[in-house]
Amino acid sequence: MKKLSLPLLLTVGAYLAAQGHVLAQTAATVTIKHDEGTATLRKNPQRIVAMDEESLGWLAALGLQSRVVGIGSTYFTPADLNGTRLKPEVLERGFYGRVNLKNPTFVGDWQTPNLETITALKPDLIVRLTWDGNQNYDRLSRVAPVIAYKEGGDGFWQKGVRDLGRLFGREAQAETAIRTAAQTGRNNAQKLNAAGILKRYPKAIVLAPFTGGSNWLYTDVRLVPEVQALGFKNGLSVPKTAGVGTAISDEALLGLGKDTLVILFPPGGRYNGADAFLKTAVGQRLKDQSVLYVPDDFNPYTGPLMSVYHSNKLTSLILDRLR
């Protein structure tokens, strides 16, 4: 066999070394196609900014909450903060008390993220929910790679959890979390069926009464998947005017049959208009077929942790109220 000259050997060796470096770099990155674009990231990021409670819940389901250095939210008031830090008592309340955060920095909300604060945190990854007309993706992407998921999308949180599982090498945890949520719904559906609830109320709607008197009918997300998993059929079909539902009139609500369960699921904090709704003529007309499910402080709407939580809490509430 003919021997290669030393210069050629060196050239081949350099080429192979370069190829090996490229392959190693490729193996160390993950490309994720999300609802606002495509991001290529190094695997297993260590410093994460979660721009809302929804994405925080997905990260917590994979055991990654200790890596969250920044949190965005629309829930907080100045009384909840010491500068840019959440007060210790806030971290012990509601959803935050269940996920055991490590004192993250508050970075604003989806409308007004504090880019200076986010930049100073030096994140490796920013995760957020999104929707038509949401802003700041380009600005956030200049700070760190962003992955974002549209709430109205089909199976959106399952995709988000699977993408995060792939990014962090926690695919098995992601699949376990998704399966657990589905199985919880099936188990609770059996309980409701055995108690005769589904025969009495084969249909259901999820209604969000807001402060000020407006009512919002959720159509695809925000408790609706959990309600459907419990065995209820859709009690009112209306066109969607936004990604998650539509405003609903008093006349439409008054037209509901007695076989439709009305699940009042008000927004959290200062937006909760449930008490006022129940005092209206419509609320009084529907009160005997209604259950009021008030979310805990700072609860997200979706995700594997919340699917289990909502399903169990709602099942207990329905059984206690209607059995």
Q: What's the CA gap between 153 and 136, in Å, rounded?
A: 20
* DSSP notation for 80-127: GEETTEE-TTGGGSHHHHHHT---PEE-B-SSSB-HHHHHHH--SEEE
- Give the residue carrying structure tokens 């962003």: 146
8 A C-beta contact, residue 140 and residue 126:
yes
What are the tokens at 321?
């109220």
The string of pLDDT tens digits covering residues 224-261 is 999 999 999 999 988 766 667 899 999 999 999 999 99
CATH code given to domain 200-322: 3.40.50.1980
Which of 22-36, 106-120, 191-205, 223-237 is predicted least confidently?
22-36
CA distance to 38, 100, 196, 253, 308, per residue, from 231 (Å): 37, 33, 12, 21, 15
The CATH number assigned to the domain with range 29-169 reads 3.40.50.1980
Residues 213 and 272: their CA atoms lie apart, in Å, by 10
| pLDDT score recorded for residue 134 | 85
All CATH 3.40.50.1980 domain ranges in the chain, comma separated: 29-169, 200-322
Q: What is the pLDDT of residues 272-311, one digit of tens each?
A: 999 999 999 999 999 999 999 998 889 999 999 999 999 9
Rg (CA), the chain: 24
Structure tokens at 322: 């209607």
Q: What is the pTM of this model?
A: 0.86
